[in-house]
Amino acid sequence: MSSAPPTLGTGATRSVTVAFESGRRMAPDALRLSPDGATLEVDSILRVPLKLTLGQLHLAQVDRGPAKVRGTAGRFPILRRLSATAVVPREEGIEGWLWTNIGGSALTLIEDDAPTGALLFTKPLGPNELKEAMKPEVLEALVARSPLGVPAVPGFLFRVQEPANAETAFRAYGLLRPITDREVPPTMRKALPTDKSADPAVSAPPKGPTGSVAPPGF
């Protein structure tokens, strides 16, 4: 993943809160964004809020799907990037998903229901960032899952309370961008039997309104 911090939008001069569906009723889990940095509050996995710089946040996405899915389903398609501003359209195929209901996710899920929010870090959070904030039993589980025996969190998946507000907040802080194969290595991608691979013949964005330029705001 790129180490460049996100380009802040015009709304990044004020603090915003992306509330999650998880957590306590009177104190839901949340991601708080301000010009000074970000704070992640997740009662189930963190003993104290996790404080991050804006430069550690790479991108975010929102899905408006339900908490329960039937059959096989995926969330957060991984698109093939053609250039800094163009991707292969989703209808032409994808490179996988961040989450499927049959394969789970390589990212840390904050709850068991199908996620509607995704946050990817510029580089995976390691022991230095996690050991003070994360609950010991959660940290131990991450170590057990790691091939190298070192905890690493490339991102979080969660359910947002209000998708429209979450999109507005992520856009204001320059985080609302497509998830592409540049950010997600093959080992982190999940697949479904019905997936259509991105067309390898597409090598440049076509001209005109039907081109593969990333949507406005991304």
CA geometry: angle 196, 202, 207, nearest 5 deg:
120
CB 62 within 8 A of CB 117: yes
Helix (H) or strand (E) holding 155: strand 153-158
Q: What is the pLDDT along the chain (218 residues), one digit of tens a residue?
A: 544 556 666 567 799 999 999 988 778 999 999 999 999 999 999 999 999 999 999 999 999 999 999 999 999 999 999 999 999 999 999 999 999 999 999 999 999 999 999 999 999 999 999 999 999 999 999 999 998 899 999 999 999 999 999 999 999 999 999 999 999 999 999 999 999 998 765 544 444 444 444 544 44
User: Which pLDDT tens digit goes with each residue over 10-62?
Assistant: 567 799 999 999 988 778 999 999 999 999 999 999 999 999 999 999 999 99
Burial (CB count <10 Å: 0-12, 13-18, 19+), residue 61:
buried
Domain ranges for the chain: 56-167+176-187
User: Which pLDDT tens digit goes with each residue over 137-146?
Assistant: 999 999 999 9
CA distances to 6, 33, 147, 186 from 59, in Å: 8, 13, 25, 18
Question: For 149-178, b where at least 16 C-beta lie within 10 A, e where not — what string?
Answer: eebbbbbbbbbbbebeebbbbbbbbbbbbb
